[in-house]
Structure 1
Amino acid sequence: MSSTSQIITCKAAICWGLGKAVTIEDIQVDPPKSKEVRVKMLCASLCHTDFSSTQGFPHNKFPLALGHEGVGVIESVGDEVTNMKEGDIIIPTYVGECQECVNCVSRKTNLCLTYPVRFTGLMPDNTSRLSVRGQRLYHVLSCATWSEYVVVDVNYLLKVDPTINLAYASFISCGFSTGYGAAWKEAKVKSGSSVAVFGLGAVGLGVIGGAKMMGASKIIGVDKNEMKREKGEAFGMTHFINPSGSYKSASDLVKELSGGMGVDYSFECTGVPSLLNVSVEATKLGTGKTIAIGSGVENIVPFDLIAILFGRTLKGSVFGGLKTASDLPIIADKCQNEEFPLQELFTHEVPLADINKAFEIMKQPNCVKVVIKM
């Protein structure tokens, strides 16, 4: 049995249907089952995926308890949980790692087959621990972090140092880590190489940080928002391109900064379909490698096959290729040791009650990350 058998009533941000307004509701949170923990959320943050989830991505199931980035403290544990306890500080993830399945053993991917990315909006047993007025609630991926309490399968959690900065811990639960891992684990950027990053939100800034750590000599940031220049430089960007002021394509502008040949690696971090072709074309013929990270509601991309036929490589990435148990603790330690300027991401804060204000703030040019105060 879990350490508490009582249902908790708390506040949560709920979207009732495709494109509908988000409301704060009193919801019920069940006790954790045997391999689950119930978490009191301490801090959460806003990612573009959270907006996309109200538009039907990654699934179209409502009512939806929102949020997937955050950090919290374990309130109670299921009776088969042995590696975590009440009072532990954790961050939820949406990628598990069993270290035994074919994929985990191969070391070629972070996509575990035992604990896969879940697009059902439910727990691994296809039920929910959340309800509102007797109606089952879905969540975006493995949990719903914009709720005062939430239940998470223990295989989708990482225990972190209790003194970690809560906002920064929230950032590394998805956005920043996704970008950092894409350069580190997915592309395996080589020292002395050249990199182009399309979109300088938290993910793109994470790519820049990862590319710098890997020793890239030229890191080109591409964004129409001039305010992102300073943010990119803080993480290690060496050159900045604002394509809105030029008649040339962004790929041509990247080539001009890389000897006319293109970069060794490019990273598409926006999810804008047309930019995927641009990011591929910005890489070198024969050897260029593009990592597709961004995603959104529109995921059907008209693709230029010629760009690939000339020897370039396009690879998709989920959570930056990071493994929850093997890799994410390294990023958490770097966060704890202040090896990243994560304060550059923290631009706004709102209480959970003002969650709709957060969506409006996200549209402002000076916004990188909005912290949700629980």
Structure 2
Amino acid sequence: MRQDKTRAAVLREQPGKWSVEEVDLDDPGPTEVLVEMVASGLCHSDDHATTGDMPTALPIVGGHEGSGIVRSVGSQVHGLAEGDHVITSFIPGCGVCKYCARGQGNLCNSGATILEGTQPSGGMKMHKNGEDIRAMGALGTFATWQVYDQISLVRIDPSIPLDVACLVACGVQTGYGSAVNGADVRPGDVVIVMGCGGVGMNAVQGAAAAGAAHVIAVDPQPFKREQAPSFGATEVFADIAEADAFAKSITNGQGADSAVVTIGVVTNEHIGQAFDAIAKAGTVVVTGISRVDEGGVIPGYNAFSAAMLQKRIQGALYGMDAPRNAMPRLLEQYTAGKLKLDELITTRYSLDDINTGYADMHAGRNIRGVIDYSL
């Protein structure tokens, strides 16, 4: 099958907004596949590009949390066939580098160029009026049709609805793994989750599934605080000071075992607040990202207390798990009724309404907005 055009949301300046345009789409190369897109989550990471918090090469098609159906495959593609249902992985998995060999596919060396917007095989697949257009995360899921390298896709069970499966491509794996792998939550733990959007709410789910006695959700938005208990939060607060005080009140003044920072735009102050809130041998997991020009000094961080109280600050990328391991397992939990996905989706948008979707995200009206390509 051939598909030489696609409608896509293109970013042409920073700061800027998404421009929905028709662009030219190349045929798949030998290791690539053509995918008819079904859905794409509106992740805050793509919004970092529009605000300029995360500089990227332009022009670029956004989106990295997507799902769709394979419509044609290149001559060297293995493990994927026409008709397969797939979700995207914004860190490609080569399978042969040192990190993939260790089972750390989320750190695959192929991820080094994802902000450049080129394909793993090199070059770009989209063009307009002779101009090359890049793809966010080597993906660009904000498009009705897209060409991906096979190492950027994970095949899933076709019985799972694609319009919800897309969430596992980023937000669910990232948040859930931040609690289970990054914080290593154990039964009986006290866990603070700072920020309860599309990533943070899954950190809440992960902490609850791991057996935490208290999952303390922190978010200034009333809607998210209202929703958090349905995902496993035991207490909710509007700010970290209240959460910190509560955690200390139930631990003889010690504090939380871990704090997961999933705020949309993280500052060093947030990390310092989380560091103050954890107990001896506690862990702060930094999952949300900051502006690239955020300074290096963390208010509240004290080397004496870090050493003497054995506290740790842990960065977490993609839930600290290989996508090809994590994604199928999370979907199995969904199928078994042990993981909420449908409930994460607050609003579905057409591609033309993408800027409205992000405005709703900033206003705190969504846990996760999703582009539905059938609309």
Establish whether TM, by shorter chain, passes 0.5: yes
Judge conservation of contact 1:197–1:267 (CA < 8 Å) in 2.
Answer: yes
Amino acid at match of 1:275: H
- The answer to which of 174-183 and 301-310 deviates more is 301-310
CA distance in 1, matches of 2:288, 2:47: 13
Indicate conservation of the 8 Å contact 2:92/2:111, yes or no. yes
Greater mean deviation of Cα atoms: 319-328 or 77-86: 319-328
Task: Name the SS for the 1:365 alignment partner.
Answer: coil
Whether contact under 8 Å (1:9, 1:29) holds in the other structure is yes
- Counterpart of 1:111 (choices 100, 107, 111) is 107
The TM-score, its normalising length taken from structure 1, stands at: 0.91
- CA separation of 1:115 and 1:294: change in aligned 2, threshold 3 A: closer
Equivalent positions of 1:259-270 (< 5 A) are 259-270=252-263
SS at match of 1:264: strand
| Aligned partner (choices 282, 288, 308) of residue 306 of structure 2 | 308
- Matched residue, 1:278: 273
More deviation, 115-124/208-217: 115-124
Superposition CA RMSD, Å: 2.1
| C-alpha contact (below 8 Å) 1:52/1:296 kept by paired residues | no
Structure 1 counterpart of 2:219, one-letter code: D
Shift of 1:283: 0.6
Percent identity, aligned pairs only, is 27
What corresponds to 1:243 in structure 2?
A: 239
2:29 to 19, 27, 33: 33
With over 3 angstroms needed to count, the CA separation of the structure-2 counterparts of 1:184 and 1:250, relative to structure 1, is closer
The answer to whether 1:64 aligns with 2:57 is no
Change (3 A) 1:168 1:261: same
Q: Tell me how far apart the structure 1 counterparts of residues 153 and 136 of structure 2 sit (CA, whole Å).
A: 16
TM-score when scaled to structure 2?
A: 0.91
Query: Which amino acid in the other structure matches residue 312 of structure 2?
Result: T
Contact 1:45–1:167, Cα closer than 8 Å, also in 2: no
* Structure 1 range deviating more: 84-93 or 352-361: 352-361
Gaps of 5+ in 2: none
Structure 1: which 5+ residue stretches go unaligned? Answer: none
What does residue range 1-374 of structure 1 map to in structure 2 within 5 Å?
Answer: 4=1, 6=2, 8-56=4-52, 58-107=54-103, 110-113=106-109, 118-243=114-239, 248=241, 251-270=244-263, 271-273=265-267, 274-285=269-280, 287-298=281-292, 299-303=294-298, 304-306=300-302, 308-310=306-308, 311-374=310-373
Question: Does structure 1 conserve the Cα–Cα contact (< 8 Å) formed by 2:104 and 2:321?
Answer: no
CA distance in 2, matches of 1:187, 1:339: 20
Q: Which amino acid aligns with 1:192?
A: G
**Structure 2 letter corresponding to 1:291:** V
